[in-house]
Amino acid sequence: LLSHCETNKLTLSSLQLIQSAGSQLPEKLALKLEGFFEAEILNLYGSTETGAIAIRTGGINKPNQMGAVVPEAQVEIVGADQMVLASGTEGTVRMRTPMMPKSYVSEHSENETGFRNGWFYPGDFGTLTADGILNLAGRHKEVVNLAGVKVNLGNLDVLVGNLEAITDVCFFDLTDEFGLTYLGVAVVSEKTIPVGVIHKALEGEVPQDVVIKVVRVENLPRSTSGKLIREQAKSLAGEAA
């Protein structure tokens, strides 16, 4: 929609609300939407299993903030021992609503970790403030170990995706002949992005001695809901290299 309106110089002055649902609205996209349309931006966090859990209006300068937990939902942040953590402490997100199911109807690959003891575990980790504001820190399956440092691939996507020359980006982990993990990144860009620029954008997140392989691609695979399909992007980058 944004691309079409920019190309055809359509302002859609009657547009009053832009709603993003599922997880985080990328900061770069949110800023473009806010700058082009005169509409309120509403971000909903939740899942198919639970429905809406938290709502944020505005605040696009804090892309990890999902907003206030809705009254009908319960959210807790727990540690590896399933004990509830103190406000502001990072851990695993679990949530529940009165209307959510107890389990999947048939065998499901996520049945053990998805539903557990009356809670749904979406696979995210984050923090919850004392006044009920949920902040996401990433997804468990997107955390990799680089030279002893745990790095969240989703966070890297956001940091490099904010670079002006990059339209879309996807990080993934690779393994060298000695079994050591390094980073690969597929970027959609009209020009070559020097690896030094990538390292600069990732200062403080990734050890400077970690190898990063940059591959330009025409587009990145996404689901119908717009989420990156990381393994497919990894394969696509391998073909393009």
Q: Per-residue DSSP letters for 46-66?
A: EETTTEEEEEEES-TT-TTEE
Please report the pLDDT score of residue 63 as a whole number.
Answer: 67
Please report the pLDDT score of residue 99 as a whole number.
Answer: 92
Please report the pLDDT score of residue 61 as a whole number.
Answer: 61
Please report the pLDDT score of residue 83 as a whole number.
Answer: 96
Checking if the pLDDT of 149 tops 90, the result is no
- pTM, to two decimals: 0.73
Of the pLDDT bands very low, low, confident and very high (cuts 50, 70, 90), residue 137 is confident
Please report the pLDDT score of residue 199 as a whole number.
Answer: 93
Checking if the pLDDT of 110 tops 60, the result is no
Of the pLDDT bands very low, low, confident and very high (cuts 50, 70, 90), residue 239 is confident
Checking if the pLDDT of 109 tops 90, the result is no
Q: What is the percent of the chain where pLDDT is above 70?
A: 92
What mean pLDDT comes out for the span 37-51? 88
Please report the pLDDT score of residue 72 as a whole number.
Answer: 95
Please report the pLDDT score of residue 197 as a whole number.
Answer: 93
End-to-end CA distance of the chain: give it in Å, rounded.
Answer: 31
Of the pLDDT bands very low, low, confident and very high (cuts 50, 70, 90), residue 119 is very high
DSSP notation for 162-222: TSTTEEEEEEEEEE-TTS-EEEEEEEEESS---HHHHHHHTTTTS-TTS-EEEEE-S---B
Query: Residue 74 forms beta bridges with which residues?
Result: 96
Cα(84)–Cα(77) distance, integer angstroms: 6
Please report the pLDDT score of residue 143 as a whole number.
Answer: 86
Tens digit of each residue's pLDDT (9 = 90 or more) over 94-107: 999 999 998 888 76
Q: 61: left (phi > 0), else alpha (psi -120 to 50), else beta?
A: alpha
Mean pLDDT of the chain: 87
Tens digit of each residue's pLDDT (9 = 90 or more) over 156-202: 998 899 898 899 999 999 988 888 889 999 999 999 999 999 999 99
Checking if the pLDDT of 112 tops 60, the result is no
Please report the pLDDT score of residue 212 as a whole number.
Answer: 93
Higher-pLDDT residue of 38, 128 = 128
Of the pLDDT bands very low, low, confident and very high (cuts 50, 70, 90), residue 228 is confident
Q: Is residue 139 helix, strand or coil?
A: strand
